[in-house]
Amino acid sequence: MTIRFDGKVAIVTGAGNGLGRSHALELAKRGAKVVINDLGGNRDGSGASSDAAKAVVAEIEALGGEAISHGANVAVFSEVEDMVQQTIQKWGRVDILINNAGILRDKTFSKMSLDDFNLVMDVHLMGSVNCSKAVWDIMKEQQYGRIVMTTSSSGLYGNFGQSNYGAAKLAVVGLMNTLGIEGAKNNVRVNALAPTAATRMTEDLMPTEVLAMLVPEAVTAGALVLCHDDAPSRHILCAGAGGYASSAIFETEGIYLAPDKQTPEAVVEHWEQICDTSQQTTLDTGFKQSENFLLKAQIFLQNQ
């Protein structure tokens, strides 16, 4: 099977450099018309320039593809709306959105200002919200949409000095989970990519020889799987250095404590059983957790 995107229109945020550029180029090579979104700021979110986005457009056009650039700040909804409107005016639809734009302002929580925390949340979380909101009804009405959130191992598992980044990156997984449920009946599928790549974000965090293995193209191979016709939905795909893995949030089978035993002491006493992973499962919706607990309570009452 060859994955193609002929006739599809894709918006890739933060596409002037790094992963976004790689995603955009490969989508274009495989037939998509691509909007290159990039504010053109520095890694910490300061500054702005359209040069990088225009350079990617030129690369795509040199390959015989179609692309336009837009400098919307994804944290500003009105600018995102303008980008989507220009896309509709140009090509009449939006099929794919890859929420890739991001910034870093790393510090320990003790030293981090709330301004730095809020800005990272605004770009990563609200940027993904804004872009998804701007295309959501379009995708629903055309009965087709593919949205990719960019999460991170820092959000899934934590990372020293990245409380703001980690909080935002796990938040987009929660956004993915609900949008995937709400979009299902309209063939709008929403997934998350957890990448590891050598980009401006990681250039001073890893040794040179390690960075050489972390080519963006390896991550892009996973990204395109999450936004093609047969893409899954509500899936977290991890990708980097040629490695690919699936991540999921699991819940143990758990226990039931009788009303007279529902105390902190009893919870501690049964801690090993509560944490037993032998029968853990992934849950389709948040209600499944309530359903599991209520079923245990019902069984207890029936046996009284």
Domain boundaries defined on the chain: 9-247, 250-302
Please tell me the CATH superfamily of domain 9-247, with its number.
NAD(P)-binding Rossmann-like Domain (3.40.50.720)
Q: What's the order of all strands across the beta sheet hosting 9-13?
A: 67-70, 33-37, 9-13, 96-99, 145-150, 188-195, 236-240, 243-247
For the record, the structure tokens of 99 come out as: 């929420």
253-292: per-residue pLDDT in tens? 999 999 999 999 999 999 999 999 999 999 999 999 999 9
Determine how many CB atoms are found less than 10 A away from the CB of residue 36.
31
The span from the CA of 120 to the CA of 72, in Å, is 16
Is 256 noted as a catalytic residue in this protein?
Answer: no
The span from the CA of 175 to the CA of 128, in Å, is 9
Least confidently predicted of 12-16, 139-143, 210-214:
210-214
The pLDDT value given to residue 80: 98
- Terminal Cα distance for the chain, rounded: 57
190 neighbors 147 (Cβ within 8 angstroms): yes
163 neighbors 112 (Cβ within 8 angstroms): yes
| Band of pLDDT at residue 208, cut at 50, 70 and 90 | confident
44-61: per-residue pLDDT in tens? 666 667 899 999 999 999
**Catalytic-labelled residue, pool 157, 165, 244, 256:** 165
Q: What Rg value do the Cα atoms of the chain yield, rounded?
A: 21
The pLDDT value given to residue 212: 78
| Band of pLDDT at residue 42, cut at 50, 70 and 90 | low
Among the CATH numbers 3.40.50, 1.10.3470, 1.10.287, 3.40.1000, which is that of 250-302? 1.10.287
Bridge partners (DSSP) of residue 194 are: 238
pLDDT at 203 over 70: no
119-155: per-residue pLDDT in tens? 999 999 999 999 999 999 999 999 999 999 999 999 9
